[in-house]
Structure 1
Amino acid sequence: MMKKKLFINGKWLEAKNYAPLRSPYSGEVIAEIPSATIEEVDMALAAAYEARKVMAAMPSHQRAKILENIANLLEKRASEAAEIIAAEAAKPISTAQGEVARTIQTYKFAAEEAKRIKGETIPMDAAQGGEGRIAYTVREPLGVIGAITPFNFPMNLVAHKVGPAIASGNSVVLKPATQTPLSAYFLAELIEEAGLPAGAFNVITGSGALIGEKIVTDDRIQKISFTGSPAVGIGIRNKAGLKRVTLELGSNAAVIIDNGVNLDKLISRCVSGAFAFQGQVCISLQRIYVHEEMYENFVEKFIAETKTLKIGDPLDPTTDVSALISSKDVERTLQWIRDAEHSGAKVALGGTSEGNILLPTILLEADSCLKVSCQEVFAPIVLINKIKSVGEGIDRVNDSKYGLQAGVYTDNIFTALDAAEKLHVGGVMINDIPTYRVDHMPYGGVKESGIGREGVKYAIEEMTEQKLVVFNRN
């Protein structure tokens, strides 16, 4: 059995305490993981704080080269990386392979952006009193970035914090999700080989409350980048003081299907958006609003396509849907389904579980006040409801405390432009599902979906400080 060590100041350190890590699919213990004490967390913070000077002084071409090395090393060990994700997260191996490919791309984007961090010149003489002065801005690293990451994309969402941090000359203390620490320690192995200075990247695992509290409140941390639940994110914002904070929080993403669109072109896409990685995706398709003229046909085709999904072992390359991350989540979602049924919703498919696997579930006519409608299910559950117009669909999408991304399928350009303007979300996907994301686009939401933007270039902007320099030539 694997027994991991803390990665602090470029060294692998035996921890004082350990806890078992179990497979979500089989329940078997797959590793022993360090449970860091407050003293061990403090060691990581001290190492990162000292390394910030080295990182800030490092030329951008050198930071870019290190990031290229990480990408190349990961590419060589891609199969191993995918198997780690499948084992610790029960992510189907084919989906895990896709995540690894995206992670490689994210580090490559970071390497490119490391060489494009620039300021601007300011025309001082545009103002009276500005004559004879030359001004320009530069962007400088903040210092130490505290990265707190979730289980659902344990490599790529880590890359979206670590990549931009290194690219912009910061050091990092990473607290990965309790269920998916193996991916983070695997990254530490790559980073050690890639040539990053000691202390510039540190991994600490254990209690989220203990480690998170220390990272959020410690004065040596200049920025928190967090992906997780709204409740925890709001708590971080309240405690962080004047630290920079980026929060990627919850969602109950929706798509609108306009009258007249070709359903055969979009059904499999919508099924994938709803059930990929068991719906445990921040922009998983949770709500579908279909024009009443298309509704029955859409539901029939959607159910038929969902029935083709294969359920089973995440390490089986043919598996589409496997176990949820914990048995508690299975219990929670089954209760939400029962509550929806009692309130008049119809279970068109699924609604039951096999071990820790919740079978893909389709609910019809679910009221907007139900938990499955207004909260984030983070499970393979999708609602399909009937609307009279796209305008009604927009109103129902906006009737949510979340606003990460939304999709609209329509053949009418005016309808598309209207939806793009009126949907209150961080990203609008025209003729696609809200689950679409590539790694260099600005990504983030409004309302309780968070603050700030990820996407490598945009994360770098939030991990650097703008400084103004003015020369007086008079």
Structure 2
Amino acid sequence: MKMYLAGEWVDREQKIEVRHPFDGLLVDTVPQATRDDVERALAAAVEGARVMAKVTAYDRFLMLRRAADVVLSQKSELGRLISLEEGKTLAEGEFEVTRAATTLEVSAEEAKRLTGEMLPLDAAPGAAGKMGFTLRVPCGVVVAIAPFNFPLNLVCHKVGPALAAGNAVVLKPASNTPLSALKLIEILLAAGVPPLAVQCLTGAGGEIGTALCQDERVRKITFTGSVEVGKKICAVAGLKRVTMELGSNSPLIVLDDADLNKATDSILASGFGNAGQVCISAQRIIALPKVYDELLDRLQPKVEGLTAGDPMHASTRMGPMIRESDAVRVEQWVHEAVAQGARLLTGGSRRGTLHEPTLLADVQPNMRISRDELFGPAVGVTRAASVDDAIRLANDSRYGLSAGLFTQDLDAAMKFARHVECGNVHVNWGPAWRADLMPYGGLKESGLGKEGPKYAIQEMTETKTVVLHLPPD
């Protein structure tokens, strides 16, 4: 495929290969963008921002509404493309397409709700006869840097709100998974988005991503990815608005009165969806002594029953990891934990990019598989002495994105909600749950700002205050 730049689909002699994570077969190629392409994209985006600032809210709504309809109508094709480039199962790929359509739909609706507020200026001393109100205006040029793990929906979470707010957007999709993002650009253009309002550059983030983020013409950066890359972006960004959706090692607490059938189903869904490559994947299971052994007894056969293999087969429940190096890392962390005293109940091995669904017991908080972000198909179960100890263990992390708790005790649930240091908390489900319209973002090193179209639009617009100095009555 070609990349979209300054109103044209362009190619370059140097290519990036997009390969199917399961078998390494070539899916397609995309151009390797250069620094000159960055300059051209930004110059076009500046002009595109001027064009978008004149587009009415209703017309922005129509563009995104039409795009949402087309995305949904192409669910099978787009879902298959996601599975080919990312390694999701076919069911997961199609589900992501459905979510992406919803994200665009909600963004379209929010385009009609951009309002300011009246200011009671006569409530200030000496302000008789003054009338004030605020306007919400677009930032201008938004740079959107997307990850590989949700290559369509997380792109929609950035591009949809940016366009709904009246901005131009320069998109840099992940090098492993650029194809569904490029298809989205085709759909947006066909839906009526002005040609200069969107750019899509394919290439290495270390080169073109840095060049985009440090440019003064950019007024807003929205990034999803690792903590380390997020810190580098913030270091070069300068005086810009930034949204950082970063990593986590999400905890899930199981109390003595938990519904263990529901808890184990949740751990299966939260811990192994997309081969664990989800920033809110359940990684640290923290259980109280009374239910600890029974939880493991119920959970082990369910993990063993996960069918891992070729994601293009309808019967496959879990696909490969995106790169073999990531599967190697997960395997190493699992073996390291076992060497330090954890019990391997099932899994622990890999074949190429395919790592077995893995369950570990007796994991200690100081083990790397507990302290750092695994981003792979393994969960570790840790014993806690009490509710307070479980909350302490959950908070013993530099991350704070999402957490889950299973209990029937309302007081315990509210204590969890108040005291667990995460941006999203879930009672009686796991941490890997998200409605695309809700505010979504983390605390501590899990990031800055919020996603969800309504909340992203707030961060992609500026507030302008207008004061009318009226004559006295």
* TM bucket normalised to smaller: over 0.9
Contact 2:270 2:282 in 1 (8 A): yes
Deviation of 1:404 after TM superposition, in Å, equals: 0.2
Report which stretch shifted further, 381-390 or 104-113: 381-390
CA distance in 2, matches of 1:130, 1:428: 44
Matched, 1:7 2:8: no
- Structure 2 runs not aligned, ≥5 long: none
CA contact (8 A) 2:275 2:321 kept: yes
* In the alignment, structure 1 residue 458 sits paired with structure 2 residue 450: no
Q: Name structure 1 gaps, 5 residues minimum.
A: none
Confirm or deny that 1:208 pairs with 2:205.
Answer: yes
Q: 2:370, 2:304 → 1: CA distance? A: 23
Give the superposition deviation at 1:335: 1.1
Distance between the aligned counterparts of 2:5 and 2:47, measured in 1? Answer: 12
Q: Does 1:276 align with 2:273?
A: yes
Matched, 1:26 2:16: no
8 Å contact kept, 1:135–1:470: yes
Match of 2:404 in 1: 407
Preserved contact between residue 364 and residue 382 of structure 2 (Cα < 8 Å): no
Give, in angstroms, the shift of residue 191 of structure 1.
Answer: 1.2
- Residue 210 of structure 1 and its aligned partner are, at CA, apart by 0.8
Q: Of 82, 86, 93, which aligns to 1:85?
A: 82
Q: Which AA in structure 1 matches 2:266?
A: R
**Deviation larger for 55-64 or 125-134:** 125-134
TM-score (norm 1): 0.98
2:33 aligned with 1:36? yes
Counterpart for residue 392 of structure 1: 389
SS in 2 for 1:109: helix
Q: Which of these residues, 142, 145, 157, is aligned with residue 145 of structure 1?
A: 142
- How far is the alpha carbon of 1:19 from its aligned partner? 2.4
Distance 2:334 2:16 in 1: 33
1:353 to 340, 350, 373: 350
Compute the displacement of 1:155 (Å).
0.4
* Aligned-residue offset at 1:428: 1.0
Question: What's the counterpart of residue 54 of structure 1?
Answer: 51
Q: For 1:436, what is the secondary structure of its paired residue? A: coil
The 1-side partners of 2:56 and 2:82 are apart by 33
How far 1:266 moved relative to its partner?
A: 2.6
Q: Does 1:326 align with 2:345?
A: no
Distance between the aligned counterparts of 2:158 and 2:199, measured in 1?
A: 13
* Structure-2 residue corresponding to 1:130: 127
Corresponding residue to 2:417 among 396, 405, 420: 420
The normalised TM-score by structure 2 is: 0.98
Taking the aligned partners of 2:260 and 2:242, their CA distance within structure 1 comes to 41
CA contact (8 A) 1:6 1:15 kept: no
2:105 — aligned with what?
108
Write the distance in 2 (CA, Å) between the matches of 1:58 and 1:19: 35
In structure 1, the residue matched to 2:169 is 172
Residue matched to 1:289? 286
Corresponding residue SS for 2:465: strand
SS for the counterpart of 1:57 is: coil
Structure 1 residue 73 corresponds to structure 2 residue 70: yes
Structure 2 partner of 1:198: 195
**Which shifted more, 188-197 or 8-17?**
8-17
**More displaced stretch, 441-450 vs 261-270:** 261-270
Identity %: 41
2:218 equivalent in structure 1: 221
Q: How many pairs does the alignment contain?
A: 471
Q: Provide, for residues 441-467 of structure 1, a one-character-per-residue CA deviation record: whole Å limited to 9, x for no partner.
A: 000001110000001000000000001
